A and B are shown apart, each in its own frame.
Chain A
């Protein structure tokens, strides 16, 4: 079974600075996807960024980028120029690329951006 571990329950960052959230995973699969989801107080789950395991290039979406280390099974999220609206729970997730698309989540990191 796949497991996803987020070792930082809470983090904080000053507005406009950079913060990195950590995620490790365990799998025997070769083909899979990794995700970072954001959950603001509204409770809605919002996709932040996605990485395909077969791609060596790290995914980037505006101020959000990842450091994907496949051999180390590590998938960290870097948020640059942090904004107050980035305050939320962040979940790392793993999805098998098979016919069941099973998706598993980490326990989450609560990020607070301070003014």
Chain B
């Protein structure tokens, strides 16, 4: 019963490097989300998807890209890492009929 799985759990990037944060859910949820949580702050929505092939911007999309080729996977891409992207990233999923978001364990990303 995996739920929402994020990898990696921790990562250190150098400025200008690229990386992809992976997110997979096995609950057949149609909605998936990426949030970032800065120290002492709430979660801010980066991107979300309402189904395979459909993505949309949230509050803070700049510097990120996403894709949703399957129901299960929703990777988040950082193309040119910047110190401002140092944060904890959470992936979540939900189902229209069940108004509750299920979260992964988070990825702590540090850009130096």
Asked if B100 contacts A91 (CB within 8 A), the reply is: no
Number of B positions contacting A (CB below 8 A): 25
Contact among A4, A35, A52, A100 for B50, CB-based, below 8 A: A100
* B101 within 8 A of partner (CB): yes
Q: CB of B41 within 8 A of chain A? A: yes
Question: A101–B43 contact, CB under 8 A?
Answer: no
Q: Does B45 contact A (CB under 8 A)?
A: yes
Counting contact residues on chain A (CB < 8 A from B), the size range is 20 to 34
* Minimum C-beta distance from A3 to chain B (A): 10
| Residue in contact with B99 in the complex, picked from A1, A52, A104, A106, CB distance below 8 Å | A52
Q: Which of B24-71 contact A (CB under 8 A)?
A: 31, 33, 35, 40-45, 48, 50, 56, 58-59
Choice from B41, B96, B103, B106 contacting A101 with Cβ under 8 Å: B96
Given A103-B45, A105-B42, does the pair A35, B100 have CB atoms closer than 8 Å? Answer: yes
Let me know if A107 and B41 touch, CB within 8 A: yes
> Cβ of B105 < 8 Å from any Cβ of A?
yes
Complex CA–CA separation, A17 to B40 (angstroms): 25
Contacts of A38-87 to chain B: CB distance below 8 A: 43-45, 47, 50, 52
Instruction: State in angstroms the CA–CA spacing of A101 and B50 once bound together.
Output: 8
Are the CB atoms of B99 and A47 closer together than 8 Å?
no
**Closest residue on chain B to residue A4 by CB atoms:** B42
Contact A102 B48 (CB under 8 A): yes
- Contacting residues, chain A, for B41 (C-beta < 8 A): 107-108
Residue positions of A touching B, CB distance < 8 A: 1, 4, 6, 9, 33, 35, 43-45, 47, 50, 52, 91, 93, 95, 97, 99-108
Contacts A/B (CB < 8 Å), 8 sampled:
A33-B99, A45-B103, A99-B50, A100-B56, A102-B48, A103-B45, A103-B101, A104-B45
